[in-house]
Amino acid sequence: MEEVIREKALPPADASADRASDRAGAPPARPRAVLDRITSPSDLKGLSREELARLCDEVRDFVIEVVSRKGGHLGASLGVVELTVALEACLDLPRDRLVWDTGHQAYVHKVLTGRREALWTIRQFGGISGFLKRDESPYDAFGAGHASTAISAALGMAAARDLAGERHRVVAVVGDGAMTGGLAYEALNNAGHSGRNLLVVLNDNGMSISPNVGAVAQYLTSIKMSPRLKKLRDEGLNLLRKLPAGGQMRGAAERVEAAINSALAPGGVFQSLGFNYFGPVDGHDLNLLMHLIPKVLERPGPVLLHVLTRKGKGLTAAEEDDESFHGVTPFDRATGKTLAAPAVPGPSYTAVFGRAMIEAADRFPRMVAITAAMASGTGLAPFKEMHPRRFFDVGIAEAHAVCFAAGMACDGIRPVVTVYSTFLQRAFDQVVHDVALQRLPVVFALDRGGLVGADGSTHHGVLDLAYMRAVPGMVLAAPRDGNELRDLLWTALSQEDGPFAFRFPREAAPPGYDPSRPPKILPIGSWEELHDGSGIAFLAVGAMVESALEARRGLEARGIRAAVINCRFVKPVDATMLPRLRQRFPLLITVEENTLTGGFGDGVLEALEGAGLPMDGVVRLGIPDGFTTHGGRAQLLDHVGLSPRGLEERALDALAGGGRGPQAAPA
């Protein structure tokens, strides 16, 4: 009975993708002499260097125009304009494979691959994705929204090419932020000694979202050339470019060029891994890139080209504040100031959590905060400022973050691992093997739990209740509001018998948040009956409590009194209240912003079965078995049937059908 919610399939990226409907809400098209002629990368082949340079200016201006009006990931894309143009002019796409890590830097790629006008719909419901998607364009060789995957995927494509006896080129573009992730080094280690023809372009802008941390970032900084050394190398390369093509002189010149790069660019770590290393080079020097890229593509074996770029290049505000301009809401491009946003009823859950962590630091002196390159995104920046010795940013390394926390917990520290829900998926083995198996009291604070909105399927946190519920000894909870979020943090830090996880959404906390109210320590597994009713009860988790309360009001207008239960603990369930609810209500509707498979609703059924109680009349509402697309959060909740209106309609359907047998209501 479950309807699979699939990503919207879009037509191949060609001229037909530039439909008039894509410009809904866009300003009148401004003429751009070169960009207007580009419908695919093949159109770059016949352009002169002057035209390519003008194209860079025009596409940078266009991306700024769109993102300033629509929002999105801006800084990284502005930093790779020249690199993208050079790569797509030199490669034969889509025959050659171009793999972008994460996708934050791929807006220019989308523009050049037939999605220029579709960019006006980016990250909107029914529009194109903010990341790379294989089913959106044949030019998107590999989909990704999580960092550090590009080198592994590209190496797999190179191996597939070699097995098929083909000769196309494979290129991975990876940011230096992704190089703080262990997966990137596993791939480099494998690729470097494979001998396969593969080009890795390291886009080094010194940032991922927050400033990069760790020895890798320090190493990349150390090998960036001094101005004097760079001038010496550039003068040598410029002299070599003036030599006539062909013959022994050209061959000798190329050998000298290789020697200059080797002598003056100490990329020792990459060379020790088996890569031919070139760089660092100016990633905004289009002529230099157009000269170097064909040459490094011709080199046999694995090659790493290290380019230096400026995040936010071409927009003064973004260059001066690259962290804030990583991802933006609509802004005034003249001033860089964010446009007035709709008023929200109160602080976000993230802000409430950040404030609660500062409070908790005074109450729990052994508590520390750990994050994975997301200090600002998870609300921990103020904590970092106030307690720098108790704050640990490990880089884009979630698995390490969890194991690091486990080591701390072994010696009496109380770590709070704070990550986006979707990113904890990358550390599941550490949650099980290193934390839960040893019953270590690590706290997991999962931001962006549920549907996150415009970032879409790669970032929705809709699996956490299922996979964390499966971990033995895990206490799992979700607050209904900001006050309860503080309560759960206090509760988690007050118990030391194993791990404790709670998740909260990316939205404003409901009205009523009171920071002056003392936090409470809640009994583990306790639920809360918010409203009594007759015949039907909503058993709601986290943010779905507010939706259930609103649905209750709609049902009450129809003469139906529905009870609403705040099921703040997903595991363990309330072993006292659940049997009583089963006796009182013929129809129980579980509501969770999580996949139905293995989620809270399944936990309720398991508990009823374990207690020998009837499971008839239990309806499970949640995310169907599929990947939910991108769009506004309210749109997506309505799309999957979890809006207040959707809950009301499903309750009426269940009442009309008698609610016989446990079921997952169709979306």
Q: Say whether pLDDT at 286 is over 90.
A: yes
Q: Write down the CATH number for the domain with range 22-225+265-325.
A: 3.40.50.970
Q: Say whether pLDDT at 61 is over 80.
A: yes
Residue of higher predicted confidence among 137 and 459: 137
Q: Write down the CATH number for the domain with range 529-664.
A: 3.40.50.920
Nearest to 113 by CA among 172, 133, 78: 133
pLDDT score of 52? 98
Residue of higher predicted confidence among 667 and 119: 119
pLDDT score of 171? 98
Q: Are 279 and 306 in contact (CB under 8 A)?
A: yes
Task: Name the least confident of 46-55, 217-226, 320-329, 585-594.
Answer: 217-226
Amino acid letter, residue 51: E
pLDDT score of 43? 97
Residue 192 CA from chain centroid, whole number = 28
Task: Name the least confident of 1-10, 89-98, 486-495, 513-522.
Answer: 1-10
Q: Where are the domains of the chain?
A: 22-225+265-325, 349-503, 529-664
Q: Say whether pLDDT at 97 is over 60.
A: yes
Nearest to 178 by CA among 292, 99, 82: 99
- The verdict on whether omega for the bond into residue 518 sits within 30 degrees of 0, i.e. cis, is no
Give the span between the Cα atoms of 108 and 79, in whole angstroms. 10
Q: Average the pLDDT over 305-311 and give the result.
A: 94
Q: Say whether pLDDT at 592 is over 90.
A: yes
3-state secondary structure of 170: strand
Q: Say whether pLDDT at 93 is over 50.
A: yes
Contacts of 199 (CB under 8 A, 6+ apart): 169, 170, 171, 172, 296, 297, 302, 303, 304, 305
pLDDT score of 338? 81
Task: Name the least confident of 207-221, 263-277, 511-525.
Answer: 207-221
Q: Average the pLDDT over 289-305 and give the result.
A: 97
Q: Are 144 and 101 in contact (CB under 8 A)?
A: yes
Q: Are 292 and 234 in contact (CB under 8 A)?
A: no
Residue of higher predicted confidence among 211 and 91: 91
Give the span between the Cα atoms of 259 and 257, in whole angstroms. 5
Task: Name the least confident of 61-65, 319-323, 416-420, 434-438.
Answer: 319-323
Q: Say whether pLDDT at 296 is over 70.
A: yes
Q: Are 583 and 611 in contact (CB under 8 A)?
A: no
Give the span between the Cα atoms of 25 and 3, in whole angstroms. 32
Q: Are 521 and 487 in contact (CB under 8 A)?
A: yes
597: its two tokens? 């498979």
Task: Name the least confident of 24-33, 37-46, 212-221.
Answer: 212-221
Q: What is the mean pLDDT of the chain?
A: 88
Q: Say whether pLDDT at 210 is over 60.
A: no
Task: Return the sign of the alpha-carbon dihedral for residues 57, 58, 62, 68.
Answer: positive
In angstroms and rounded to an integer, the radius of gyration of the C-alpha atoms of the chain is 27
Nearest to 69 by CA among 344, 452, 456, 339: 339
Give the span between the Cα atoms of 294 and 86, in whole angstroms. 10
Task: Return the sign of the alpha-carbon dihedral for residues 196, 197, 203, 209.
Answer: negative
- First-to-last alpha carbon distance for the chain, in angstroms, is 9
Please give the helix or strand (H or E) that residue 579 lies within, else none: helix 577-584
Of the pLDDT bands very low, low, confident and very high (cuts 50, 70, 90), residue 219 is low
Contacts of 272 (CB under 8 A, 6+ apart): none
pLDDT score of 235? 64
Q: Average the pLDDT over 619-645 and give the result.
A: 93
Residue of higher predicted confidence among 267 and 421: 421
Fold of 349-503: Rossmann fold (3.40.50)
Q: Say whether pLDDT at 8 is over 50.
A: no
pLDDT score of 244? 60
pLDDT score of 205? 85
Give the span between the Cα atoms of 2 and 4, in whole angstroms. 6
Kindly report, residue by residue over 476-526, the tens digit of the pLDDT.
999 999 999 999 999 999 999 999 999 999 999 999 999 999 999 999 999
Of the pLDDT bands very low, low, confident and very high (cuts 50, 70, 90), residue 13 is very low
Q: Do domains 22-225+265-325 and 349-503 have the same CATH topology?
A: yes
pLDDT score of 247? 53
pLDDT score of 16? 36
What are the start-end ranges of the H helices in 137-214?
150-164, 182-192
Q: Average the pLDDT over 174-189 and give the result.
A: 90
pLDDT score of 400? 97
The full length of the chain comes to 667
Q: Say whether pLDDT at 76 is over 80.
A: yes
Q: Say whether pLDDT at 252 is over 90.
A: no
Q: Average the pLDDT over 456-470 and give the result.
A: 92
> For 210, which DSSP code?
S
Residue of higher predicted confidence among 431 and 251: 431
Residue of higher predicted confidence among 571 and 22: 571
What is the percentage of the chain residues whose pLDDT exceeds 90?
70
Q: Say whether pLDDT at 560 is over 90.
A: yes
* Residues involved in catalysis: 311, 398, 426
- The verdict on whether omega for the bond into residue 572 sits within 30 degrees of 0, i.e. cis, is yes
